[in-house]
Structure 1
Amino acid sequence: MVLFLVSGVGFAWQDLQSRINIFDADSILGPNRPGDDLPDSYEGRAVNLLVLGSDTRSGDNNVDNSQGSEDVAVARSDTAMVMHISADRSRIDVVSIPRDTLVDIPSCTTLDGETTQAVTNGQFNSAFANGAGTGTDPSSVVSGAACAQRTVEDLTDIRIDDFVVVDFDGLSTMVDALGGVNLYVEEEISDPDYTGLELTQGCHTLDGATALQYSRVRHGVGDGSDISRISRQQNLMSAMARAAQSKNLLGANELYDFATSVLEALTVSKGLSLGALAGLGSSVQQVGMDNMNFVAMPTAEAPWDANRVVPTDEADDVWEALRNDQPVPDGSEGSDGTTGGDSATPSATASPDTGSTDGPQTEEGTDGHDAADADTPTQAATPTQDPQAQASQSAQAAAVASAAQQCE
């Protein structure tokens, strides 16, 4: 009987392990990375993960009937977050990097052995596209994620231990596996032409399809900028974390079904085995939502391009804090609607949609990608560094956070 039970657990574990799309990207990340002397084990040290949302339209991700269009021919990192888990497992900081940030993108190697050209002052989300090339297969996705990882390491001087990639279909599947998520919508959303999302202000329970719309929407809400969309993506991620923490899976079958649905939605680097994911999940559970902080990397309008942003000195302070495993400094609060105000990031005014991935596009960039990867306008950003404005935004976000708690 004992042998039967142990064998059953072993087979189940192997089956779950096989559900994860794990790839070894170490060979293409190159030498001289930050933290080369760190041990492979996560135990007893801070962990930094790069969470990427891919906007590929291949297969089940063709959510807006734009598959095959040259505008969405390759995948970009539509969402990028650095997730820092403190060494004592008492705190988690999640820092979003705006896709329109101008950064230096290093030369990258792909799993196929190709080498990409380095780019000076390239748009951040094009790093993923540079590595992925024109492919949408898993090998291309991993190559794109590895190039984005190298770009983040060069930007932050922080060792990224592993990456996680979730595409459109994966996000929708994860939300449905959680039984939906409850969140507070800060302002009315009306976007009939792009995502089709219509939501009133207040508490809502979103299923997978609606959650995907919410994470992508930028028309008919706010100022129409990609930076304002970060707040909604962080709000959704926060809601997903709360749902996962509160989920009560009593039966073995229910637990197994939930695990398979979530694991199949992920593409990860080799350090995130099933055991590592289970350990990290336990750590997140112990930290709790009160000690999970969502922020956006502080940026300002690029002096030479009003439609792009660059990291500020405050951004350096954020990355230094993570390098030293310290809390993110005050004044860098996020605007996720649950944990603080996006006081260090610029606001933006709406402009014609030449770079959104919300729906079918018509304007192509000069490099063959969509206009979000070219030098065409996607937003007009203006810095909001005034202390009074920061305080006002923080107070507004605190009110949203209070309202969000009532949605649970």
Structure 2
Amino acid sequence: MIMAVSSHAKAKPNARHSAKDLTRRAARRLLLAGFAVVLFIVSGVGIAYHDLQSQVNTLDINGLLDDDRARQVTDSYEGRPVNILILGTDSRAGANNVDGSEGSEEVAVARSDTTMILHLPADRSRIEIVSIPRDLLVDIPSCRTADGGTTEAMSYTPFNTAFANGAGASDDDAAVAAGVACTLATIEDLTGLYIDEYLVVDFNGLTTTVDALGGVNLYVDEDINDTEFTGLVMSSGCQHLDGATALQYARVRHGVGDGSDRQRMPRQQNLVAAMLRTAKSKNYFTDADALYSFARAALGSLTSSPGIGSLTTLAGLAMSISDVGMDQTILITMPNEEAPWDLNRALPTDEAADVWAALKADTPISEALRGDTQEGADSSSDADSADATQEDQPTQSDAGSDQPDAAADSRTPTADATTEDPAAQCY
């Protein structure tokens, strides 16, 4: 009996020890399972990141720029103003052959069909985009070409010649890099600005990006009937555009207005505004699946500088302006006027220098567009501009379209004109 009790007494510690072992093993398994889940998530994020990063085509153009040009190298643009050059090229190579003209003499050399400077101020309180007319007469510096040669400096030459000078007759990455470098150098000479980054969008890139957004809504201020060139036929009013139609709208010059490139720029700005509005409405920063799908489709169709081509930099910049409303998004054409000796060419006006000075000083260009600071002016004019109703906007746009000289708005810009977004009523 004593022996039995003794045996039973010894068994209890073993039971307690076994229970502890079971608890420890369960804890280890739970820990391993949790670690596996975390590892799976981290691996998935890592794979997604590398997948997206691999979609971006980046080109370093530093070697094509003057050696004495001080390149600013930074890991973050936080707390700094940023100037980004956006170039739309008219290459017809590959998927860009939208009109069947690839190989023809007319498009043998790729040109910068659209040029915009995107300025983000240091405090990220607004977005400012300034278009440069492709037919603006400028001085183009000597540029290095893709084949290692150099071009002669040129005076009073159409702006879009700069890209062609660098790129030559090729459409490969080396040619694009040289075209961008020559355009960037020309812009810096023209404006006095430092261009931090660049982004190149070709025809296919625009189409793909708009389709990735699910199309865009915009307001068309006059009927378009261009059956011969782009094939675009569109009535005025609110329209929903898919990628292919958006490209037609951005390119159209015939069958609307006076056929000039300067009249085409407001339509391109209208499209950009619609794209920005659509992107903001998608809540990409709260919908990871939607963001991933959009990013994968859009990034694969763009070419950029290495800085903005980094997803961390790109995401950081995007997040920093995510709260900027369309009322603080300014899209204008640099002030210009017809060249007296050639009505198809343009020259900068004095107001253009004011715009560049404002960007360089990181002050709102809307203030520069008011002229001599309007000392003593009624301060209620700003409020009137900001409070413009959606119903009033189409009337303002239609009134502008009736002017015989489409460049008039660019010669005498106003603060009101910079904040209009007729597409607001189409959402």
Alignment TM class, shorter chain as reference = 0.7 to 0.9
Residues 1:13 and 2:49 are matched in the alignment: yes
Equivalent residues in 2 for 1:221-370, closer than 5 Å:
221-248=256-283, 252-272=288-308, 273-328=310-365, 329-331=368-370
Deviations 1:55-101 (A, max 9, x none): 00010101111111011011100000000000000011100000000
1:11 CA drift (Å): 1.7
User: Equivalents in 1 of 2:126, 2:73: separation in Å?
Assistant: 20
Name the amino acid aligned to 1:100.
D
Name the amino acid aligned to 1:290.
D
1:206 CA drift (Å): 0.3
Match of residue 190 from structure 2: 155
- Contact 1:227–1:348 (Cα < 8 Å) also in 2: no
1:31 CA drift (Å): 3.3
- Count residues with an aligned counterpart: 364
- Contact 2:336–2:410 (Cα < 8 Å) also in 1: no
- Contact 2:354–2:369 (Cα < 8 Å) also in 1: no
- Contact 2:351–2:369 (Cα < 8 Å) also in 1: no
Match of residue 88 from structure 2: 53
Moved more, 133-142 or 165-174: 133-142
SS of structure 2 residue aligned to 1:295: strand
Match of residue 356 from structure 1: none
**Unpaired segments ≥5 residues, structure 1:** 350-380
SS of structure 1 residue aligned to 2:176: helix
User: Equivalents in 1 of 2:300, 2:411: separation in Å?
Assistant: 45
Would the alpha carbon gap of residues 348 and 169 (structure 1) be closer, same or farther in structure 2, given more than 3 Å must change?
farther
User: Equivalents in 2 of 1:200, 1:382: separation in Å?
Assistant: 23
User: Equivalents in 1 of 2:71, 2:53: separation in Å?
Assistant: 27
User: Equivalents in 2 of 1:104, 1:406: separation in Å?
Assistant: 41
SS of structure 1 residue aligned to 2:239: strand
Match of residue 226 from structure 2: 191
SS of structure 1 residue aligned to 2:321: helix
- Contact 1:76–1:125 (Cα < 8 Å) also in 2: yes
User: Equivalents in 1 of 2:410, 2:220: separation in Å?
Assistant: 25
1:275 CA drift (Å): 1.1
1:187 CA drift (Å): 0.6
Match of residue 114 from structure 2: 79
Would the alpha carbon gap of residues 141 and 266 (structure 1) be closer, same or farther in structure 2, given more than 3 Å must change?
same
User: Equivalents in 1 of 2:84, 2:74: separation in Å?
Assistant: 15
Name the amino acid aligned to 1:82.
I
Name the amino acid aligned to 1:199.
M
Name the amino acid aligned to 2:349.
T
Name the amino acid aligned to 1:9.
V
- Contact 1:225–1:348 (Cα < 8 Å) also in 2: no
1:193 CA drift (Å): 0.6
Deviations 1:23-51 (A, max 9, x none): 11111122344x75675631211000000
User: Equivalents in 2 of 1:289, 1:175: separation in Å?
Assistant: 18
Whichever structure has more helix as a proportion of its residues is: 2
Match of residue 423 from structure 2: 404
- Contact 1:234–1:294 (Cα < 8 Å) also in 2: yes
Would the alpha carbon gap of residues 383 and 290 (structure 1) be closer, same or farther in structure 2, given more than 3 Å must change?
closer
**Unpaired segments ≥5 residues, structure 2:** 1-35, 372-384, 386-392
TM-score, with structure 1 as normaliser: 0.83
1:19 CA drift (Å): 0.4
1:119 CA drift (Å): 1.1
User: Equivalents in 2 of 1:283, 1:384: separation in Å?
Assistant: 31
User: Equivalents in 1 of 2:288, 2:337: separation in Å?
Assistant: 50
1:385 CA drift (Å): 8.2
Equivalent residues in 2 for 1:117-136, closer than 5 Å:
117-136=152-171
Equivalent residues in 2 for 1:36-47, closer than 5 Å:
36=71, 39=74, 41-47=76-82
1:142 CA drift (Å): 1.6
User: Equivalents in 1 of 2:247, 2:347: separation in Å?
Assistant: 28
- Identical columns (%): 55
SS of structure 2 residue aligned to 1:286: coil
